[in-house]
Structure 1
């Protein structure tokens, strides 16, 4: 018992410490997102900018609730509860189901489903807006949502505990489905991006295409770190090991950071969108001063002096070849 208690305390402390660092990372990304949304040259529509601002703000508020609850619970456990009835073990046994703990757990569940919803939408976009691709993931999403509600109800009852009893019987399949869903989406997105990456590299050239085809961009677009840490949490959680609390806290923060990274890429125009995906597969050749530079229509060619939507700038003349016919696009 003493060993398990010691493991729990160490894990909770390490998880809380890492959570504080990750909260700072998310704050930076949040303000970078707002800064990008407020720029005059932002390419997103007014409706999209409003959605991203609200979405990011809700994520930050939910993460703040989670961080605050863990901070308060840790203080009460190690300071107020140390001299209370039963000491720290007594506090853990009686206060795990406290109302504010349930509120913190609910905030994490909300972040998970907001993040997964964004991943499902990105999957839909990256696969060319085909509903058939997201049919199974959506069913898994709904099943996980049902199990999450049951888990929250059981954990919030007097004597309830996220890591013991009936709660874990529903928590294990819930987290299994959620993390499996993340892995499936990650694999689908990465495989699709690897395939499209070759087309984009041909279209934009290796240097200009790097922001779409680099390893970092694929990891962010697919939320791969989120899935990886989810596996690290699920294994000890299913085994009832106290170290699960440490991985769980880090994973909970990634449920906010992963979608926020994607939003930041979308806002700054570095994410895969409908235009890039469609144009990467089109058979369009751009010529600058008679030399081919890309196979795409309307893609911003940042490495050639500020191209935007097939229009030449900096005094260069652009010629567009579409299925064999050539026409001049003019020069600035």
Structure 2
């Protein structure tokens, strides 16, 4: 037991430091987004800009709550917990379900569903507003939400443990569905963008070198598909499902990426560099041979 707690402490410590670095990245992304949205020449209509600003602000608040709760719990564990008769192991057994830990977990789950909601919206847009492509992802989204609520209730009750066996019975399928949804959406978005790029390369599409790089670069497709979110999700799922103490490290990093990756997409949207409904329609019209060229204006 002591060895497991020691491994947990190491993983929690490393995860907390990496989370601090990612929080700095989140702050930078947030202020860059707000700067873009506040400009008079900002891309999109007022309603969309207001939505993106509110969405980003809510995400930053949730991100801050998670960081703060983890920091407080870690401080109390390593300082006050040492005074208990059995030290940190006793603290872990009696305080893992404390209210602010449940608050932190709730903020993470909320970030996940906000981020996944944005990815589903992007999937809908990039696939030409076709509802039939959304049926399975929406069903998975709702199923994951139900399992997440059960997991939070079990982990927050007296004696509950977010990484305990009772909780992982619901937590494992929750993460399998959520991360599986991420992988599916990432693959569909990335594949669609690459297909559009390949199809457009065979047409006489007039665009500047700058615009070409903005819309069809591998980095742009990687960001738009939130590929990093899915990759780290897989790295987290394996130790979590096997009840490894290292799961907390990967979990903290993955939890932060659940909103950082969507924020990177929002930054591209606010900058006018993202694929939008108009650009998708232009691309599809071009490929159908209805027009001979499309001009992508520089932003």
What is the CA-CA distance between 1:238 and the residue it aligns to? 0.4
Structure 2: tracts of 5 or more residues without a match: none
What is the CA-CA distance between 1:200 and the residue it aligns to? 4.5
Aligned length: 292
1:52 aligns to what?
Answer: 52
C-alpha contact (below 8 Å) 1:11/1:246 kept by paired residues? yes
SS, match of residue 77 in structure 1: helix
| C-alpha distance in structure 2 between counterparts of 1:160 and 1:86, whole Å | 19
1:95 aligns to what?
Answer: 95
| C-alpha distance in structure 2 between counterparts of 1:188 and 1:32, whole Å | 28
C-alpha contact (below 8 Å) 1:282/1:296 kept by paired residues? no
Bigger radius of gyration among the two:
1
Root-mean-square deviation (CA, aligned residues, Å) is 1.5
Structure 1 position 18 matched with structure 2 position 18: yes
What is the CA-CA distance between 1:36 and the residue it aligns to? 0.1
- Between 1 and 2, higher relative CO (CA 8 Å, sep ≥ 6) is seen in 2
Superposed structure 1 runs of 4+ greater than 6 Å apart: none
| 1:11-58: CA deviation from partner (whole Å, max 9, x where unpaired) | 000000000000000100000000000111112111011100100000
Structure 1 length normalisation: TM-score? 0.85
| C-alpha distance in structure 2 between counterparts of 1:53 and 1:101, whole Å | 28
In the alignment, which of 258, 261, 265 is matched to residue 264 of structure 2? Answer: 261
CA 1:211–1:204: 2 relative to 1, 3 Å: farther
| C-alpha distance in structure 1 between counterparts of 2:188 and 2:228, whole Å | 15
Structure 2 length normalisation: TM-score? 0.95
Alignment of 1:59-78 (within 5 A): 59-78=59-78
Alignment of 1:1-332 (within 5 A): 1-201=1-201, 202=203, 203-205=205-207, 207=209, 208-283=211-286, 295-296=293-294, 299-300=296-297, 302=298
| C-alpha distance in structure 2 between counterparts of 1:254 and 1:265, whole Å | 16
SS, match of residue 14 in structure 1: helix
C-alpha contact (below 8 Å) 1:34/1:53 kept by paired residues? yes
Structure 1: tracts of 5 or more residues without a match: 285-293, 307-332
| C-alpha distance in structure 1 between counterparts of 2:164 and 2:84, whole Å | 23
What is the CA-CA distance between 1:283 and the residue it aligns to? 3.6
